[in-house]
Amino acid sequence: MTVIVTDTGFGPDTFSGNWTDLAPDADDGALQHAVAQQQAIRIQFPAFSDGRGFTLAARARRMGFTGRLRAQGHVIADQYAMARRSGFDEVEISADLAARQPQAQWLARANWRAHDYRSALRRTG
């Protein structure tokens, strides 16, 4: 069972369309093909220490992808703001991870526009 994380917290997976799944090491051709499909793209995160998926998401958005973009796998609550800033709409995590990092930890980062160094500089400057 998986849990979908959005800016409003945890929820079930209600998406019923087709996904284009991309590994974090997807090449330009695979990414361009997925973007051209203009459907939903799900990018795998095999480990929380593997940030290549953030780069793929940002590249997909720069290429003009406007569809649903989901990070799937080992993304932790501390990375939620980065996931949103890189272009992801949502994060899919396992029920085990959701139990270890409850909804409150994710919601603490839901105001992702405020959780970056530029916002901190504006507050102190």
Residue 8 burial by Cβ neighbours in a 10 Å radius (0-12, 13-18, 19+): exposed
The pLDDT value recorded for residue 89 is 96
The pLDDT value recorded for residue 1 is 85
The pLDDT value recorded for residue 8 is 95
The pLDDT value recorded for residue 125 is 58
pLDDT averaged per 10 residues, the chain (length 125): 94 92 94 91 93 95 96 95 95 96 92 61 61
Question: What's the number of CA atoms in the CB half-sphere (13 Å) around residue 113?
Answer: 1
